[in-house]
Amino acid sequence: MRRVHIAPTLLDAQLISDTLASLGIPNHILNVHASGALGDLPFMQAQPEIWIEDDAQTERAREALLHMQTASASDGAPCPRCGETNPGNFLSCWNCGGALGG
């Protein structure tokens, strides 16, 4: 068992858990029930944690997490040239190649 992520909310943890599971990475959410005792615990300890069963899959899990975080980093921005919506981390439009970020 190895911890690969600390999620801000249980909803995030569930989403990550489902995604990892769909990639064939068995995992568990720990600390799920700790939120009820928030007053007694340091804040960080009450957040849901994602633990994977197989340490050998740590790198794969981290990579998947990175992709998820990048994909949800922004809602996306419309291209000023063609109006196509691009992910927020794109520097140029995937459709027409025009520069974004303005």
Chain contacts with Zn ion (rule: CB under 5 A): 79, 81-82, 84, 93, 95-96, 98
From the CB of 47, what's the least distance to Zn ion, in Å?
A: 39
Phi and psi (nearest 5°) for 38? -55, -35
The residue among 26 and 78 lying less far from Zn ion, judged by its C-beta, is 78
From the CB of 88, what's the least distance to Zn ion, in Å?
A: 15
The residue among 17 and 86 lying less far from Zn ion, judged by its C-beta, is 86
- Alpha-carbon distance values, 102 to 14, 19, 48, 88, 99 (Å): 35, 33, 37, 12, 8
Cα distance between residue 40 and residue 102, in whole Å: 46
The residue among 12 and 84 lying less far from Zn ion, judged by its C-beta, is 84
From the CB of 87, what's the least distance to Zn ion, in Å?
A: 13
Task: Tell me the H-state helices in 29-95.
Answer: 58-71
